[in-house]
Amino acid sequence: MLINALCEYENLRAKADSASEGWEKQPVHYLIILSSDGRIANILDIRKADKVYDKKGKEKTVYKPKDVLLPKRTQKPGIESNYVEHRALYIFGLNYDKESGKFTPEDKTDKAKKSHSAFVKHELEFMEGLDSPVCNAYRSFIESWVPENETENPELMKLGKNVENAYFAFSLGVGKPFFQEDAQLKEKYKAILSAETKRQSESANTAVCEILGQRLPVARLHDKVTFPFGQASGSQLVSMNDTAFESYGKTQSYNSNVSELAMKQYTSALKYLLNDPDHHIIIGKMTVIFFAMKENDTSECKIFLKSTSGVQSSVDSTSEGDIKGAGEHVKSGVVPDTERLDSVDKNVTFYIAGFTPNGPRICQKFFLKDSFGNIVKNLQKHQDDLRIREDSKRQIYFSGIKKELLQPKKGGKSDKSSNDDVPPPLMSSIMHAAFTGSKYPDGMLATVIERIKRDSDDDKNKFIKLNDTRAGMIKACLVRKHREEVITMSWNTENKNPAYLCGGLFAIYEKIQRDSVEGTLNTTIKDSYFSSACSRPSVVFPRLAMLSNNHMRKLDTNATVFYSKMIQEIVDGLDGEFPKTLSLDDQGRFIIGYYQMNQKLYTSNKKDERKD
């Protein structure tokens, strides 16, 4: 289903871009201006300045490369030149030496020299028979460029270290067509594609394509995709790299029955989604792609991006008002209402898929298909379930949830014995629940409770152990697991659940201890007894009651009466008997009770309440 959706999306995108088969968009940073005799007259920066916002909402300027239509890039491993090369190492044959600030053709494996030689051989063969001003200039550049003589080329020196990670295109001047737009070149490249297609048809295995439903040549190998945290050489979504995965006498990816045409379509779409910051987010080591099945899905994807990660991307002129309106919703913690956005089609089919790298492969963790309107509504419900206080309007993004499931870093370092990342299956299950409105995984509740019981507050941040996000995560798990259960936004005197009451009582005991000591109290009963009280109340609370009686002797009469009344109300609700053990769900209720009673005890009108 995913590959089929990607193929359909690629066809829509190609239709909108007027892209022909065998061509693809490639980000390009600089334009090389050639003179008629093949010399580099200038190198222009063609990147576009764009305003983006970081997770804290701070605006900054980034420079995005220009998307340029080029012949399909090679997928072969090792050194292999493209038609109309765009990579600096192939074009110039030079490495940048940071120490000297100059360029050199030397490296340990002679990769620069080999890459440039492959480029020269490949492109001179391609240029044979072509006779136009730009083709002649390109040919002259290839024939006259000697890397050893260009180590201090003034145009390259202006770019310095930026050359290494940049992509290039060629032209004869500002405002003139790019080299690959030359009519003769395009005609020859078309002939090469036709010959290659004919050769594949005659020699390749054919079968009914699982995606397109036509008898076509089957792809033996699927193109690699540069994937976040994956292999530098690229990773494959479909691959059979061992005989154990082969069947029915078919070898390699012939087992998949995906045609060469469908393979090119879905890999091209996947590359585009991974290259475009408006079509994917990265949570830990999981990459989530998303797209709407329409020619221009900019508005839907930007709103979805803001709603899930807080990233505010660039605004195009066609939907500026709509996106700004959505941005205001996000700032207030409310997922935007699609009914109010003119450029958004709430009925359009929207796709979301999560992936993680696994060596040379890409592993699909989840896949979701629904209308854009339903997904936005589910995200709104997700935020409502996470909200633990009535006055809280802050939106909790997936990165924030992930952060609370990890052991906090102290002094810039994390415990080596702990995992540095949330397991992808758990994170993908959380995201799937948010997008579909289904129950959150039990692992989310278990992990956040474990973190609350194990973590400790420090002098700089007293909200490591328990904060709004962690309490909200517990609330969300409980209300979706027990649909009939209602968890209010503040302390609920009508809630007689024993675990909830025990949590509230623990908060009162801790507050009494703090009030009994002048100045700052570094260690409280929370540091010593919280974990055991949350698990085995009957063992711990008698001890806490004795300690609390000792602490209350140090308080004035009004405070003693105030706290005694609160304690008695809770003990009456427990019928004087503490639970022996608490299940995982009840431990969550204990923590909610503790959190909400703390909020009640520390409200600004507490002093007035005491006087009454």
Q: What is the pLDDT of residues 305-315, one digit of tens each?
A: 888 876 655 43
| Of 207, 59, 258, 38, the residue nearest 127 (C-alpha) | 38
pLDDT at residue 416 is higher than 50: no
Partner residues linked to 52 by β-bridges: 60
pLDDT digits (tens, 9 = 90+) for 356-407: 988 888 999 999 999 999 999 999 999 999 999 888 878 899 989 999 999 8
Contact 72, 23 (CB under 8 A): yes
- Name every residue whose Cβ is closer than 8 Å to that of residue 525 and which is 6 or more positions away in sequence: 506, 509, 510, 513, 544, 547
Q: What is the dihedral of CA 328, 334, 337, 342, to 10 degrees?
A: 20
Report whether 333 contacts 357 (CB < 8 A).
no
Distance CA 304, CA 384 (A): 17
Write out pLDDT tens, residues 554-607: 999 999 999 999 999 999 999 889 999 999 999 999 999 999 999 999 874 444
| ∠ Cα 226 229 230 (to 5°) | 50
Give the mean pLDDT of the chain: 86
Per-residue pLDDT tens digits for 95-153: 999 888 899 999 999 999 999 999 999 999 999 999 999 999 999 999 999 999 999 99
**Closest C-alpha among 271, 288, 588 to residue 432:** 288
pLDDT over 90 percentage in the chain = 57
Q: Which of helix, strand or coil describes residue 459?
A: coil
* Strand pairing category for 30-34 and 168-171: parallel
Lowest mean pLDDT: which of 299-308, 404-413, 464-473? 404-413
Cα 511 to chain centroid distance, Å, stands at: 41
pLDDT at 291 over 90: yes
Q: Residue 254: which pLDDT band, with cuts at 50, 70 and 90?
A: low
Confidence bin at 417 (pLDDT 50/70/90): very low
User: For residue 16, what pLDDT band results from cuts at 50, 70 and 90?
Assistant: low
Q: What is the pLDDT, as a whole number, of residue 539? A: 95
- Does residue 76 carry a pLDDT above 80? no
Secondary structure (H, E, C), 333-395: CCCCCHHHCCCCCCCCEEEEEEEEEECCEEEEEEEEEEEHHHHHHHHHHHHHHHCCCCCCCCC
Gap between the Cα atoms of 204 and 206, Å rounded: 6
pLDDT tier at 54, thresholds 50, 70, 90: low
Nearest of 397, 200, 418, 218 to residue 304 by alpha carbon: 397
Question: Residue 274's pLDDT is what?
Answer: 92
- Distance in angstroms (rounded) separating the CA atoms of residues 547 and 541: 10
**Phi, psi for residue 282 in degrees, rounded to 5:** -120, 120
3-state class of 516 per DSSP?
coil
Residue 552: predicted pLDDT: 93
Measured CA distances, 190 to 134, 139, 183, 532, 559 (Å): 18, 20, 11, 73, 87
Residue 491's pLDDT band (cuts 50, 70, 90): very high
Residue 326 pLDDT more than 50? Answer: no
Q: Which residues contact 206 (CB under 8 A, 6 or more apart)?
A: 215, 216, 217, 218
Percent with pLDDT over 70 in the chain: 85
Would you state the pLDDT for residue 18? 57
Q: Residue 320 above 70 pLDDT?
A: no
Residue with tokens 């093949």: 38
Strand 280-283 versus strand 349-358 pairing type: unpaired
Counting beta carbons within 10 angstroms of the beta carbon of residue 10, is it exposed (0 to 12), middle (13 to 18) or buried (19 or more)? buried
Which DSSP category does 128 fall into? T
Tokens of 594: 């503790």
Q: pLDDT value at position 323? A: 38
Non-local (6+) Cβ contacts of 105 within 8 A are 93, 94, 95, 112, 113, 116, 147, 148, 151
Handedness of CA 376, 382, 383, 389 (dihedral sign): positive
Place of tokens 């990579």: 87
Query: pLDDT (tens digit, 9 = 90+) per residue, 195-247?
Result: 887 776 665 577 888 888 888 888 888 888 888 888 888 888 887 766 656 66
pLDDT in tens, 512-567: 999 998 877 778 899 899 999 999 999 999 999 999 999 999 999 999 999 999 99
179: pLDDT strictly greater than 80: yes
**In whole angstroms, what is the distance from residue 298 CA to residue 302 CA?**
6
Helices vs strands, H then E, count in the chain: 20, 15
